[in-house]
Structure 1
Amino acid sequence: MKHIARLILKIFGWKLKGGLPADKKAVVISVPHTSIMDFIWGKLTFISQGVPTYILMKKEFFFFPLGPILRALNVIPVDRGNKENHIVERMVEEFKKRDVMYLTITPEGSRKKRKKWKKGFLVIAKEAGVPVYLGRIDYKDKYCTWGPRFEPTGDPDADLKYIMSTYKDANPRHPENFSAGD
């Protein structure tokens, strides 16, 4: 699979920028998220490096035949309308059970323009005792990166404000659908 993923990325001109995360467990945010292609390029990048990643995705995508394919790709369905979902607790338990785990989350929570991002990834990282990598998908220069390492402080509002500021220069596929809080 690694070689196939590398070939697909090469054919389409995409590359990995920077090295692999030093940590064996982390939350990796994927920003910007304005297109379904973000999932494709991001997942191919992880596969091309032999890095197992789990991805949270809204449950509405888990219809037949797509559902079984997504589950095989370690995509976890999330019922965003169910407040009893306990996704933070579930993910913290998954981190505890595994020696290696990268959980990829799109903090925008939508491919539509959102001035306010979701903070759950920071809560998951803090409670699981893992760092956050500020991943990026860049359509201008066609690269994916895990980005810099960020240690949550316990103040999700301040952390999110800082993190959003680091994406002011992002190059999304659909710029009209992206906001870094501006």
Structure 2
Amino acid sequence: MQRTIFNTPILTPVLRQIARLLLKLHGWRVVCDQQALKLKKYVLLGAPHTSNWDGYYFILVALKLRLTPQWMGKDKLFKFPLGATMRWFGGIAVDRSKANNLVEATVNQFNASDELIIAVPPEGTRGATERWKTGFYHIARGARVPVVCGFINFPKKEVGLGPVLEMGENLAAELARFRDFYADKIGKFPERYTPPA
């Protein structure tokens, strides 16, 4: 496993203490489904995603809970001068010319790993869109791993991990489950949120 902000010897333990302190100073509460902490491999959703602050709080939570999330990105993002920084923040470069698509590449990454958490913002952007991107669903089905509902709720100052969901064959039914869970989770800019449809 590559060294990241979440697993760098000496530095990460210090960052975990800082993360706990910052969450306390900000007045945020971490809520966590304990089942998620026992899993070695899963797709981690990040929603609602309406602000850059979402990533900040998710990093603090990942540090506090001792998670090692990663995310997949086009190999172009990992070229000089930002490549090393992107990898240190958990990025995995994907050469899309060697795989049919990002879903297949991510499934392959899961199959080749004993432990892997891939974080995905299902809205795909911080602005309002027509619908959630469903790549996460196809990744979970293809890799036979569950989906964990990572969430942020600004009015309540809560952030964390919700239920662990196994994905069935009916995409519409699964999106309905996500819609129910995220219905009362409110981002920093609620007007930018796109619910599952």
Tell me if TM exceeds 0.5.
Answer: yes
Q: Retained in 1: the 8 A contact 2:72–2:106?
A: no
Paired residue secondary structure (2:173): helix
Aligned residues: 180
Paired residue secondary structure (1:45): helix
Aligned to 1:75: 91
What root-mean-square deviation, in Å, do the aligned CA atoms of Structure 1 and Structure 2 show?
A: 2.5
CA distance in 2, matches of 1:70, 1:110: 18
Aligned to 1:159: 174
CA distance in 1, matches of 2:91, 2:162: 21
Aligned to 1:7: 21
Measure how far apart 1:31 and its partner are: 0.7
Higher share in helix: 2
> TM-score when scaled to structure 2?
0.79
Letter in 2 for 1:154: E
Paired residue secondary structure (1:148): strand
Aligned to 1:122: 137
- Mean Cα displacement is larger for which, 66-75 or 56-65? 56-65
Aligned to 2:185: 170
Measure how far apart 1:78 and its partner are: 6.8
Aligned to 1:41: 57
CA distance in 1, matches of 2:68, 2:145: 16
Q: Retained in 2: the 8 A contact 1:115–1:181?
A: no
Q: Retained in 1: the 8 A contact 2:33–2:163?
A: no
Tell whether 2:62 aligns with 1:86: no
| Equivalent position to 1:113, from 111, 114, 128 | 128
Measure how far apart 1:161 and its partner are: 3.2
Structure possessing the higher radius of gyration over alpha carbons: 2
In the alignment, structure 1 segments of 5+ residues that lack a partner are none
Aligned to 1:145: 160
Measure how far apart 1:132 and its partner are: 0.5
Letter in 1 for 2:68: P
CA distance in 1, matches of 2:119, 2:161: 10
Task: Please list every run of at least 4 consecutive aligned residues from structure 1 whose deviation after the TM superposition is greater than 6 angstroms.
Answer: 58-61
Measure how far apart 1:25 and its partner are: 0.9
Paired residue secondary structure (2:86): helix
- Mean Cα displacement is larger for which, 117-126 or 159-168? 159-168
Q: 1:60 to 1:169 in 2, by over 3 A?
A: farther
Measure how far apart 1:77 and its partner are: 5.3
Letter in 2 for 1:125: A
Paired residue secondary structure (2:162): coil
Summarize deviations over 1:5-46 as a string: whole Å, max 9, x none: 222222222231124413211111111000011111112211
> TM-score when scaled to structure 1?
0.85
In the alignment, structure 2 segments of 5+ residues that lack a partner are 1-14
- Mean Cα displacement is larger for which, 2-11 or 30-39? 2-11
